[in-house]
Structure formats: structure tokens, C-alpha cells
Amino acid sequence: MSPRGRPGLPAWRIALYAWCGLVFFFLMMPLVIVFPLSFSSSPYLQFPPPGWSLRWYVAYVNDTAWIDATLRSVKIAVSTTVLATVLGTMLAFGLVRGRYPGKALVNQVSLMPLIVPGIIYSIAAYSLFAQVKMIGDWRAIVLGHAVHAIPYVVIVVGAALRTYDEAYELAAMSLGAGRLRAIWRVTLPQIRPALVSAMFLAFISSFDELVVAMFLGGSNMTLPKKMFDNILNEIDPTIAAVSVLQVVLVSLLLVVVSRFGAGAKPVG
């Protein structure tokens, strides 16, 4: 009995907390483990590391293959973000505001890339871009990644638009703004949190994507492809250093999104 005279934590609650603790441990363990590995002085996977050093970070920075792959991935992810955010936001406006025949079908098509398995899309895109000789072209990867990012943008921006009070836009129009100017000056600034979240989703979905990039990239590797090859072949702690940098990057982005965005949950 607790001092307040009410029964203490019931057994099921203790079990619940213990269970959740284990699950959180399971979820976080892989992220945590890469930190000590990346500072190891040993070229082999040893745990705990025999000594500490920054050599794997130095190795990463000095290896042009890693840096090239990183820069290429950033370039692709930024381009994908711009393309998908522009197209997806426009589509969300069309779907929420418009009334035209076939709208339900358009809605289905816009969400389909989420349902069609990535491997199917990847080989389909591979055969398409092979035909126009764009394999190895980073822009082909941008197009492929945008296909996957657009549904995220449509979902997030569409949800924001559905709860947005159109009276603001009407007010702007009555005050002398055309429809497009009203959207630009009044509606978009107000749904900015959703736009920030959508851009985050688009960026990460591209930056982490492997399969499409693997098929379309040819010999021009993106960061995930480079990691994939490393894991398959010459596994050394450089990849741990890269992993730490990625975990830190995602953490920073999450802070930015929770500060300026509308959340970072892709569903629910």
C-alpha cells in the first residue's frame, strides 16, 4: 500500500513498464552501439574497443569515394525535396480544393507508390531509364526518389489543408489578392509547419533510399549504396563513423522539425 492509502502500482502496470523498457532498449540499441565502435582504435570489430581514436572519421573524410557518395546523396536528396514538395503541394491543393471527375482515381494514383513494393518500382524504373540511357545519371535517381516522396507530401500537406479555414484565403481575395497570390501570401505561410514536415519526409526518404539508387545509379554510388557495398565486402569501422554522422544528422533534423514542423510521423 502506498502512503496515500491507494493501492500501489498494480502488477500489470509494472509488467507494462518493463515490457516498454525492453522494447525501447531493443529499438535504441543499434543506434547506440555504433558510437563506441566508431571511436575504436582497432580495425576489427571488437567490443568493447581496445582503445579510442578518431581514425575512422579521418578515414571517412580522406576517402574521396565516401565523400563523393555523400555529396551525391545530398545533391539528390535536396533536388528530390524541392521537386516533390512543389509537385506534391500543388497536387494536395488540387485534391483538397478541386471538384472534377476522376478525383478519387487521382487520389489513388498519388498514394500508390507507397503500396507498390520498392523492388518492383526499382526494376521498372531501371528498364525505363535504361531505354533513354539515363542509368548512372543522378537526375534519374531524383525522378525515382520523387515518385516515392510525393505521396508523403500529399498526405502531410493535404491533412493541413483539410483543417485549414479557407476564410483566410477568401479574406485575402476580397482584399484585392488574386487566387494564386492569396495562396502564396496567406495560405502557404499558415501551413508552414506541414510544409516543413513534408520536406523532412521527402529529404530523408531520398537520403536513405537504397534500392532505386542501386538500380539507377550505375557506378555513381549514393551513400546508402556505398554503405551496402561496404557491409557486403570490406566491413571496417569507417562505416560506424558514417553511421554516427547519420544518426547525429537525423537527430538534428528531428529537433528542427519538432520546433518548426507539424511532427515527423509518417502515419497515424
Partner 1 sequence: MGAAPSTRDSTHSAAPETSGPGLAVTGVVRRFGAVVALGGVDLAVRRGELLTLLGPSGSGKTTLLKVIAGFEIPDQGSVFLGGQDVTFAAPAKRDIGMVFQNYALFPHMTIAQNIAFPLEMRKVSKAAIRERVDNALKQVDLPGYGERLPKQLSGGQQQRAALARAIVFGPSLLLLDEPFGALDRKLREQMQLEVRRLQQKLGLTAVFVTHDQEEALIMSDRIAVMEQGRIAQLGTPQDIYHHPANRFVAGFMGESNLMQARLTGPGTASVEGGASLRFAAGAVGPAGSAVGLLLRLERPRALKDGEAAANAFAGSVVEVIYLGETVKYRIRLDPGFEIVVRWPYRESGGSLKVGDRLRVGWDAADMQPVAWT
Partner 2 sequence: MTAIAAGARSARTPWRGWRAHVLAALFTAPALLFLLLFFLWPVLRLLSLSVEGGSLAPYQKALTDGLYVQVLFNTALIAAYVSAVCLALGYPVAYFLANAREPWVTIGIVFVLLPFWTSILVRTYAWMVLLGRNGVINRLLLETGLIAAPLPLLNNLTGVLIGMVHVLLPYMIFPLYAVMRRVDPGLLSAAEGLGAPGWQVFRRVYLPLTLPGVLAGVTLVFILSIGFFITPALLGGGKVIMIAVLIESQVRQFLAWDFAAALSVVLLAMTLLVYFGLRRLFRGDLQWG
- For partner 1, the binding residues in 177-236 under the rule CB under 8 A are 177-178, 181, 185-186, 189-190, 192
Residue 225: which of 236, 200, 216, 147 has the closest Cα?
216
Instruction: Decide: is 176 part of the binding site for partner 1 (CB under 8 A).
Output: yes
- Report, in Å, the least distance between residue 24 CB and partner 2: 4
Residues 167-206 that bind partner 2 (CB under 8 A): 179, 204
Report the partner that residue 264 touches, choosing among partner 2, partner 1, none (CB closer than 5 to 8 A by kind): partner 2
Counted residue by residue, the chain has a size of 268
Phi, psi of 52 (to 5 degrees): -115, 140
φ, ψ for residue 43, nearest 5 deg:
-75, -5
* Run of H or E residues at 13: helix 11-38
Report how many residues bind partner 2 under the rule CB under 8 A.
86
Q: Which partner from the list partner 2, partner 1, none does 35 bind, CB cut-off 5 to 8 Å by kind? A: none
CB 152 within 8 A of CB 262: no
Q: Is the backbone peptide bond immediately before 10 cis, with ω within 30 degrees of 0? A: no
Site for partner 1 contains 97 (CB under 8 A): no
Enter the C-alpha cell of residue 235.
566491413
Q: Which does 165 bind (CB under 5 to 8 A by kind): partner 2, partner 1, none?
A: partner 1
User: Which three-class secondary structure state does DSSP give residue 260?
Assistant: helix
Q: Does 175 bind partner 1 (CB under 8 A)?
A: yes
Nearest to 139 by CA among 226, 79, 81: 79
- Smaller CB separation from partner 1, 11 or 175: 175
CB 196 within 8 A of CB 262: yes
Phi, psi of 101 (to 5 degrees): -65, 145
Tell me if 224 sits within 8 A of 213, measured CB to CB.
yes
Stretch of 7-15, 20-28, 171-179, 202-210 lying at the interface with partner 1 (CB under 8 A): 171-179
The nearest distance, CB 210 to partner 1, in angstroms, is 39
CB-nearer residue toward partner 1: 63 or 166: 166
Smallest distance, partner 1 to C-beta of residue 166, A: 9
| 126 part of the interface to partner 2, by CB under 8 A | yes
> Among residues 173 and 264, whose Cβ is nearest to partner 1?
173
Site residues (vs partner 1, CB under 8 A)? 165, 167-168, 170-178, 181, 185-186, 189-190, 192
